[in-house]
Amino acid sequence: MSRHRGEASSSRLQIRLESLNTARELAEGRVDEHQLGAVYGVLDRASSRRSLSSAHTVVGIFGPTGSGKSSLLNALTGTDLARVAARRPTTAEPLAVIWDEDGSSDLLDWLQVSNRHVMPDGAPLLPVPGNGSRRAKRDDGDEGGLILLDLPDFDSTALGHRVIVERLAGQVDVLLWVTDPQKYADASLHREFLEPLATHEAVILVALNQSDRLSENDLAQVTRSLKQILAGEGHGSAVVHAVSAVNGTGLRSLAEEVRAIVRRKEAATGRLSADVDVAVDSLREFTGPELPPPSKAARTALADRLADATGADAVIDAVVRSYRRDAHAVTGWPVTRWLGNLRADPLRRLNLRRGDVQEFVGRTSLPEPGPAQRASVDRALRTFGEELSAGAVEPWRTAIRDAARSPEPELLERLDEAVARTDFSSGSRAWWWPVAGVLQWLFLAAMVVGIGWLAVLAGLGFLQFPVPESPRVEGIPVPTLLAVGGVVAGIAVGILCAALARLGARRRGKRVRRRLVASITETAEAVAVGPAAAEIERYNSFVQAVGRAAARR
Ligand SMILES: Nc1nc2c(ncn2[C@@H]2O[C@H](COP(=O)(O)OP(=O)(O)OP(=O)(O)O)[C@@H](O)[C@H]2O)c(=O)[nH]1
Ligand SMILES: [Mg+2]
- Residue 89 pLDDT > 70: no
Question: Distance, CA 67 to ligand 2 centroid (Å)?
Answer: 8
Split at pLDDT 50, 70, 90, the class of 137 is: very low
Residue pair 385/404 in contact (Cβ under 8 Å)? The answer is yes
Local structure of residue 314 (DSSP, 8 states)? H
- Domain finish residue from 212, 245, 264: 264
Helices (H), 310-431: 312-331, 334-341, 346-349, 371-389, 396-405, 408-421
Q: Look at residue 61 and give its three-state secondary structure.
A: strand
Question: Distance, CA 150 to ligand 2 centroid (Å)?
Answer: 7
Instruction: Report if residue 343 sits inside a domain.
Output: yes
- Residue 312 pLDDT > 70: yes
pLDDT digits 0-9 by tens, 219-259: 999 999 999 999 999 888 888 999 999 999 999 999 999 99
Q: Are residues 225 and 309 both part of a single domain?
A: no
pLDDT digits 0-9 by tens, 170-184: 999 999 999 999 989
d(CA 375, CA 352): 24
Local structure of residue 251 (DSSP, 8 states)? H
pLDDT of the residue at 404: 82
- Residue 317 pLDDT > 50: yes
Q: Are residues 245 and 118 both part of a single domain?
A: yes
Q: Are residues 236 and 361 both part of a single domain?
A: no
pLDDT of the residue at 303: 83
Q: Are residues 318 and 215 both part of a single domain?
A: no
Burial of 162: CB neighbours in 10 Å, binned 0-12, 13-18, 19+: middle
Q: Are residues 203 and 325 both part of a single domain?
A: no
Probe ligand 1: pick from 71, 73, 222, max atoms within 8 Å of CB?
Answer: 71
**Distances from the Cα of 457 to the Cα of 446, 454, 464, 478, 486, angstroms:** 16, 5, 11, 12, 18
Mean pLDDT, residues 35-47 = 90
Convert 187-206 to b/e letters by CB count within 10 Å (16 or more is b).
Answer: eebbeebbeebbbbbebbbb
Split at pLDDT 50, 70, 90, the class of 90 is: confident
pLDDT of the residue at 359: 38
Residue pair 391/288 in contact (Cβ under 8 Å)? The answer is yes
pLDDT of the residue at 136: 46
Instruction: Report if residue 71 sits inside a domain.
Output: yes
- Residue 145 pLDDT > 60: yes
Instruction: Report if residue 22 sits inside a domain.
Output: no
Angle, vertex CA 383, rays to CA 378 and CA 387, nearest 5 = 150
Percent of all residues in the chain with a pLDDT value above 90, rounded to a whole number: 41
Residue 74 Cα: closest atom of ligand 1: 15
CATH of the domain at 83: 3.40.50.300
Q: Are residues 397 and 445 both part of a single domain?
A: yes
CA atoms within 13 A on the CB side of 232: 10
Angle, vertex CA 54, rays to CA 102 and CA 263, nearest 5 = 90
More confident call, 308 vs 44:
44
Q: Are residues 301 and 260 both part of a single domain?
A: no
Instruction: Report if residue 224 sits inside a domain.
Output: yes
- Domain finish residue from 264, 283, 311: 264
Instruction: Report if residue 36 sits inside a domain.
Output: no
Instruction: Report if residue 305 sits inside a domain.
Output: yes
Instruction: Report if residue 304 sits inside a domain.
Output: yes
Q: Are residues 252 and 344 both part of a single domain?
A: no
Q: Which domain holds residue 479?
A: 296-550
Q: Are residues 232 and 122 both part of a single domain?
A: yes
pLDDT of the residue at 438: 92
With a Cβ cut-off of 6 Å, ligand 1 is lined by: 63, 65-71, 84-86, 88-91, 152-153, 209-210, 212-213, 244-246
d(CA 411, CA 376): 12
Q: Are residues 308 and 425 both part of a single domain?
A: yes
pLDDT of the residue at 88: 63
Instruction: Report if residue 233 sits inside a domain.
Output: yes
Q: Are residues 369 and 479 both part of a single domain?
A: yes
Split at pLDDT 50, 70, 90, the class of 134 is: very low
Domain count, the chain: 2
pLDDT of the residue at 381: 84
One-letter amino acid identity for 145? Answer: G
Residue 161 Cα: closest atom of ligand 1: 25
Question: If you average pLDDT over every residue of the chain, what do you get?
Answer: 85
- Residue 421 pLDDT > 90: no
Residue 63 Cα: closest atom of ligand 1: 19
- Residue 156 pLDDT > 50: yes
Split at pLDDT 50, 70, 90, the class of 133 is: very low
Long-range interactions of 124-132: CB distance < 8 A, separation 24+: 125/76, 125/77, 125/99, 125/255, 125/258, 125/259, 126/75, 126/76, 126/78, 126/251, 126/252, 126/255, 127/78, 129/78, 129/248
pLDDT digits 0-9 by tens, 66-75: 999 999 999 9
**Distances from the Cα of 205 to the Cα of 60, 155, 499, 507, angstroms:** 10, 18, 94, 82
Q: Are residues 255 and 384 both part of a single domain?
A: no
